[in-house]
Structure 1
Amino acid sequence: MEITSTIIGAGVVGLAVAAELSRTRKGVLILERHDSFGQETSSRNSEVIHAGIYYAKDSKKARLCVEGNRLLYRLCEQSRIPHRRCGKLIVATQKDEEAILATIQEHARENGAEALEMLSARQIKAMEPNIKACAALFSPSTGIIHSHRLMRHYASRAQKNGAQFVPNTTVSRVEKQGDGRYRVHVVYPDGQTDAFSSRWIVNCAGLESDRIAASMGIDIDRCGYRLHYWKGEYFSLDVPRGFIGHLVYPVPQANHVGLGVHATIDLSDRVKLGPNATYQPDRNIDYSVNPQDRQSFYEAARRYLPGIALDQLQPEMAGIRPKLQKPGDPARDFIIAEETSKGFPGVINLIGIESPGLTASPAIARHVATLMAERG
C-alpha cells in the first residue's frame, strides 16, 4: 500500500479522522504506540456527550462540540452504539451561584447549544430526590456513551475502507523531505527502527502531540503548543441503582481547569464522582488513585448529595488531560492547524484535544478532511 496519509495516534479523535479520510482517500495509515486503540485519554474520562455549554463563543471547542453532539447522537442511533440522552443538571447549592447559572444559560444560547431550562429547588427535588440545590440548569442534550464501542466503530469503519492500523509503533520524529513528503521515523517494542514517506501527516498523538510537533522542527513554545498534564481521579459511589438518573455538575471552576467534582452515571447506572484536577509539572503518567483524596471528593459531592456517607466512596480510576494551560493561565482552545504558514504544508497538528474531544470527534474529523481538501 502506498502511504498517502499518516495519522499518528489511535485515540477517539485519530480513529474518527481515519474513518472520515478513508471514505475518499486511499493509503491511510494509523500508527499507535500501544497494543490497541484508545488506551489513554480516550478511555479514561467520564464518557459524557457534552452539549457545548461552557466554551468561549466562536471557539473551536464550542463550534465542534455543538456540531459533534448532533452528529454523535445520529451516529449512535444509526450504528447502534450504546448511549443514553440522560440530561444534565448544573446545580447551585448557594444563592450567590444562581447568577452564575444565568450567565451559563446565556453563554450556551450564544454557542448554539440546545436550550437550557432553569429549575427551582422544587423542580429539582421532583426530578432528583437525592439532590439538594437551590436552583439548577437542565441540559436535555447532554448524555453518556460507551466510548470503547464508539472507538471500535470508527476503527472498523476505517479498516473496511482500506485504512491500515499499526499498533506497538512509536513515532520518534517526522522529517520534512525535499519532494513535498515527510519521512516518518518509528521505533518498535524490540528497539528496531524503520522509516517511510507520507504526503500528509495528521498529528492526533494526544499526550505526545506537542513532542511530535517539536520533532518536525516547530518551536512549540513560540507557537503555544506546549502541553501541560493535569491528572483527574475518580471515585465510585456505592449507592442503589437509580440513586440519580441524570448527570449532576456543580458550577464550573475558573478558567475551566475542570468542571468540578461531578456525579455521573454509566450505561449500567453505576455512579462515579470526579474528576478532580491536579497539575503534573513533571508530566508524570500516573494512573493511580490516592485513597487519601476520598475526603475531598466526599466534601465536594455532599454539597449537592447530602445523603452520601464517606465509606460509600471507593477509588475507581484516573486519567491525564493534555491541556494547553498551566495553573493560573486562561482557558485555551483546541489547536487544529494546517501548518503551511510555518513551512510544513501537508501537516495538520491537533494539540490540546481534551474535553470535549470525544463529543466533538465526528466534527473534528470533518474539519480535518476539509482542511486537507482545501490544501488539495
Structure 2
Amino acid sequence: MLLLRRFAGTGRRRGLAGLASGVPRETADAVVVGAGVVGLAVARALAMAGREVVVVEVASSFGTGTSSRNSEVIHAGIYYPPRSLMACLCVRGKEMLYKYCAERWIPHKRLGKLIVATGLAETAKLDMLLTNAKQNGVDDLQMMEGSQAMEMEPELRCLKALLSPSTGIIDSHSFMLSLLADAENLGTTISYNTAVIGGHVGYEGLELHISESKELHKHSLGSHVSPQLTLLPKLLINSAGLSAVPLAKRFHGLNPSFVPTAYYARGCYFTLSQTKSPFSHLIYPLPEDGGIGVHVTLDLNGLVRFGPDVEWIDSGMDPVSCFLNRFDYSVNPTTCSKFYPVIRKYFPNLKDGSLEPGYSGMRPKLSGPGQPPSDFVIQGEDVHGIPGLVNLFGIESPGLTSSLAIAEHIVSRYL
C-alpha cells in the first residue's frame, strides 16, 4: 500500500511533497508516530506480526530525540516498584536486548555496575534496593563491603556497595539502525519530515491530520497549521516521546481525563578529559528526586561520562514547538561546579578542571518535582474506549532497555 510514499514522490524517506490542493484521505493498517527506539521496536514487532506498518517521523532521521541523548545503559531492573510496568518490562527487555545484540552483532558490553553508599545513612537504602530488586526478579545482585568494592575499583570510595553484574552498555544508534532495517525488510514504510499535527475520532474511526514538517517550521504561536493529508488507520501507536502528551491532547474525541500532565526534566552530561578511565564498572550513587543520581558511565570506546543531573523545565511549551523538539539542549560549562562535589563523594581524586561539557537530554516524565516517580503508561481501548488507539506516555529511562519488551507487550495485548 505504501501510502505516504504515494504522496511523497519517489523513495520511502522523503516525506510529504507536492500534494494537490485539498486534503486527500487515505486508509492505513498500522501507523506508528515516532521513530525513536521504542517506535522502531514497535514497528518491527507489528510488521513481524503481519501488519502493514507506516512510521511517521517529524525529524529528518530516526532517533533524534530522547533515544540519542541518554547514557546508553542496559538497566537491570533494580529501582522500579514491584509489579510496575517499568519493572516488568525492564527485566524482560534486558533479556531480549542482550539476546538481540548477540544475534545481530550489535556493539554492547555487560560491564556491571556498583551502586554505592558513601555515608552511614545511605547503607540502609542499599538493603532496600536489594529487597526491591529481588521482588522484581533481579536475583544476581551482590552486597559488598566498601573494602571489597574498592578492591575492584581502587579510585572508588564508599562504605558499602551493591554490584549488579547484568547492567551493561550498548551502541544505541547501531541498535536503532538494526531495528529500522528489520522493519523495512518486512515492508514497513518510514516517512521522515512528516508530522502528525492532530486528529479526531470520526465516523470512519480514527482520523490523523498529517503535514510536512516544514509547514510547522513556518508556524508562529497561535497560528493554524492546515493538514495536507488525512490518514485513517486501523491501529495507531502514539510513540511520540517528548510530544506524546501534547499530541494526545490534539486528538478530539479522546477524553482529556485520560491524558496525563507532562513534565520535562533536562539532564546534562560532562565528560572526563583524561584519556584513561579511572573505572572499569559503571558507578552509581543512590537515587535522587527525578533521577538516579549523577553517575559514571562508559561508552564503548572507554570515554567516561558523568551525569545526568536533574533540571526541571517549563512544561508549558507551545505544542508545535514540542513536536519539532525545540528544547534547549545546550550545556552551560559553569554547571560543572555542581558536579564536582557530588562526584567527589565517591571519586575523591577527581581533579579540578577535568570535566568538559558533553551533551544533554530531555526526559518525558509524568511526575513533577517532589512527586512520587510515575510508571510507564501504555494506554489502549480498555482504558480510554477508542478502538485502535494506543498511547505511550512517560516512556523515559529504562525505555531503551525495555523497548523490545514494550513492543512485545503491545503486540500481545492490542492486536
Q: Return the letter of the residue paired with 2:176.
A: M
Q: Which residue of 1 aligns with 2:213?
A: 189
RMSD of aligned residue pairs (Cα, Å): 1.3
Q: Return the letter of the residue paired with 1:258.
A: G
Match for 1:323 among 365, 368, 374?
365
Q: Deviation at 1:177?
A: 2.4
Match for 1:150 among 156, 162, 175?
175
Alignment of 1:102-141 (within 5 A): 102-141=127-166
CA contact under 8 A between 1:229 and 1:283: conserved in structure 2?
no
Counterpart Cα distance in 1 of 2:139 and 2:34: 32
**More deviation in 350-359 or 233-242?**
233-242
Alignment of 1:89-108 (within 5 A): 89-108=114-133
Match for 2:407 among 365, 368, 374?
365
Alignment of 1:212-227 (within 5 A): 212-217=247-252, 218-220=254-256, 222-223=257-258, 225-227=260-262
Q: Return the letter of the residue paired with 1:208.
A: S
Match for 2:233 among 188, 195, 198?
198
Bigger Rg, which one: 2
Q: Which residue of 2 aligns with 1:276?
A: 309
Q: Deviation at 1:174?
A: 1.9
CA contact under 8 A between 1:340 and 1:346: conserved in structure 2?
no
Q: Which residue of 1 aligns with 2:274?
A: 239
Q: Which residue of 2 aligns with 1:351?
A: 393
SS at match of 1:4: strand
Whether 2:264 is the aligned partner of 1:229: answer yes
Match for 2:185 among 124, 136, 160?
160
Give the percent of matched residue pairs that are identical in Structure 1 and Structure 2: 41
Give the TM-score of the pair, scaled to structure 1: 0.95
Counterpart Cα distance in 2 of 1:283 and 1:352: 16
Q: Which residue of 1 aligns with 2:351?
A: 309
Counterpart Cα distance in 2 of 1:360 and 1:175: 30
Q: 1:282 to 1:333 in 2, by over 3 A?
A: closer
CA contact under 8 A between 2:59 and 2:213: conserved in structure 1?
no
What stretches of structure 2 of length at least 5 have no aligned partner? 2-26, 216-226, 318-326
Q: Which residue of 2 aligns with 1:295?
A: 337
Whether 2:38 is the aligned partner of 1:13: answer yes
Counterpart Cα distance in 1 of 2:268 and 2:214: 33
CA contact under 8 A between 1:91 and 1:133: conserved in structure 2?
yes
Q: Return the letter of the residue paired with 1:201.
A: L
CA contact under 8 A between 1:295 and 1:310: conserved in structure 2?
no
What stretches of structure 1 of length at least 5 have no aligned partner? none
Q: Deviation at 1:223?
A: 2.8
SS at match of 1:25: coil
Q: Which residue of 2 aligns with 1:75?
A: 100
Q: Deviation at 1:160?
A: 0.3
SS at match of 1:298: helix
Q: Return the letter of the residue paired with 1:47.
A: E
Q: Which residue of 1 aligns with 2:291?
A: 258
Give the TM-score of the pair, scaled to structure 2: 0.87
Match for 2:75 among 50, 56, 61?
50
